[in-house]
């Protein structure tokens, strides 16, 4: 579910890059403090003969050598209370100093993607405590080959981040206005619309587009941000109208469609307050086919253990019910919870993603759910031998434990995609070669002709 969003202003995130510095033979007193952009500098010594003089000057000024970029280029850190700029100004008149520059902010180079908004996606960019460690996960998997069914309000099929990320029905021919695969939907190329039984999955609410972008927005395409599983494909199944309303019947039919058409993961960012035998049957069918079912906990600040919320309260082994946390890893003030019924939490506050023709930041357990669905896709791509239950257990067991979530979230933690994908490589099982036995060629045996004996020999 999406929580009503507030307008937010975005600024580029430019954390100070960590530096790996070489050790020196001599030591100045330290460490006096942690290096920050307010108290550090980089200096270059004018001549090797001046190294001792420079070391003494740094000591007298209340600083220490943090390491070096070369024999004559050093990183300097000053203790608290030292006026760094005044010291550097004084050193300019000395013979031993060739140059000095104060430290400053630089753009993070941690992300292995070039998408312009990626650094503003705090859950992806590793700039917050509750980031999902996407770069680490991407070093192992991007979700290639996995189909994620997004049962929602549809998808903006023309969005530059999503147009190339959509599942294509191999049994249907585009634009011929025929139901080629005879499943009841005409031209269901990228999925199906269960509100009017057509193949038109264009999003008129924005919710499904936002969810889909979190999962699989394209990487390195020069547009917007990036999804957590950019190698996965989105199967768009429209069950919600422009107002965000839908029916149980539509949702149930969408689940069967997803399973029967090869989806490995289902994302259901919606809830309902009443149970449904038909929904139970559909979810049971998904479980029997090893399809991971990821759903939202809800945005009512409610304990789902006491006040059931469906489909999340149906506890099949393939189900992951997701609550929301903020960037500090604390449960979002709107998120539902439940020590027995909400499995894991994930980023759900100020989540920047795709909307029809644009990009917006939204809040909600609807936004947290696709991060978990995307992680399931990463694991499924990495380990095609895993069952749905194994993927579910992996995500829960590798969640970052938090005292703030203990007793209110079943795993007592929030999503860590990097840890979840830290798995041994898949080794395909050896194929048993059945020897081909070639039958021996049978040579026809001619019957022996009996020659009658002469009468005298009888």
Active-site amino acid positions:
152, 207, 366
| Angle at the Cα of 26 from the Cα atoms of 25 and 30, rounded to 5 degrees | 125
Longest dimension (CA), the chain: 145
The Cα–Cα gap between 216 and 230 comes to: 4
- Name the pairing type of β-strands 344-347 and 319-325: parallel
Backbone φ and ψ for 382, nearest 5 degrees, come out as -70, -40
Closest CA to 11 of 102, 103, 104, 107: 107
Alpha-carbon distances, residue 248 vs 80, 101, 308, 403 (angstroms)? 63, 64, 16, 37
Backbone φ and ψ for 149, nearest 5 degrees, come out as -85, 120
The Cα–Cα gap between 138 and 382 comes to: 11
Output the six-digit token pair for 282: 């559909």
Determine the 3-state secondary structure of 79 from DSSP.
Answer: coil
Paired residues of 414 in beta bridges: 345, 400
Backbone φ and ψ for 374, nearest 5 degrees, come out as -65, -40
What kind and span of H or E run contains 288?
A: helix 277-288
Q: What is the DSSP letter of 178?
A: S
Provide CB contacts within 8 A for 443, sequence distance 6+: none
Q: Are 312 and 269 in contact (CB under 8 A)?
A: no
Provide CB contacts within 8 A for 401, sequence distance 6+: 411, 412, 413
């Amino acid at each position: 579910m999406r929580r009503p969003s507030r307008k937010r202003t975005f600024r580029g995130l430019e954390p100070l890059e960590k530096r790996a510095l070489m050790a020196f033979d001599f030591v100045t007193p330290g460490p006096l403090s942690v290096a920050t952009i307010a108290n550090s500098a980089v200096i270059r010594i004018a001549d090797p003969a001046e190294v001792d003089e420079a070391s003494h000057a740094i000591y007298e000024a209340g600083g220490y050598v943090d390491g070096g970029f070369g024999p004559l280029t050093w990183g300097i850190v000053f203790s608290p209370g030292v006026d760094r700029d005044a010291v550097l100004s004084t050193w300019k008149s000395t013979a031993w100093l060739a140059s000095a520059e104060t430290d400053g902010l630089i753009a993070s180079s941690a992300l292995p993607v070039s998408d312009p908004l990626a650094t503003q996606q705090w859950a992806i960019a590793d700039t917050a405590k509750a980031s999902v460690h996407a770069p680490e996960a991407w070093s192992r998997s991007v979700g290639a080959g996995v189909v994620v069914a997004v049962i929602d309000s549809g998808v903006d099929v023309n969005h530059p981040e999503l147009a190339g990320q959509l599942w294509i029905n191999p049994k249907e021919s585009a634009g011929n206005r025929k139901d080629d695969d005879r499943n009841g939907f005409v031209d269901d190329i990228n999925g199906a619309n269960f509100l009017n039984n057509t193949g038109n999955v264009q999003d008129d609410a924005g919710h499904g587009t936002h969810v889909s972008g979190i999962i699989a927005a394209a990487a390195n395409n020069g547009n917007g941000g990036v999804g957590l599983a950019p190698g996965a494909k989105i199967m768009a199944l429209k069950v919600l109208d422009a107002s965000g309303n839908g029916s149980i019947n539509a949702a149930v039919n969408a689940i069967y469609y997803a399973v029967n058409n090869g989806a490995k993961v289902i994302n259901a960012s919606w809830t309902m307050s009443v149970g449904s035998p038909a929904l139970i049957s559909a979810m049971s069918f998904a479980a029997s086919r090893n399809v991971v079912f990821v759903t939202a906990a809800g945005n009512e600040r409610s304990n789902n253990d006491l006040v059931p919320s469906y489909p999340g309260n149906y506890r099949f082994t393939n189900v992951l019910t997701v609550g929301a946390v903020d960037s500090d890893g604390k449960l979002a003030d709107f998120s539902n919870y439940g020590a027995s019924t909400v499995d894991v939490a994930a980023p759900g506050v100020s989540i920047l993603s795709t909307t029809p023709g644009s990009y917006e930041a939204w809040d909600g357990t609807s936004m947290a759910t696709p991060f978990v669905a995307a992680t399931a896709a990463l694991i499924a791509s990495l380990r095609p031998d895993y069952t749905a239950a194994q993927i579910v257990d992996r995500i829960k067991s590798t969640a970052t434990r938090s005292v703030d979530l203990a007793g209110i979230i079943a795993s007592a933690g929030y999503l860590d995609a990097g840890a979840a994908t830290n798995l041994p490589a898949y080794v395909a099982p050896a194929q048993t070669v059945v020897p081909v036995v070639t039958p021996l060629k049978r040579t026809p045996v001619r019957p022996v002709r009996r020659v009658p004996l002469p009468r005298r020999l009888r």
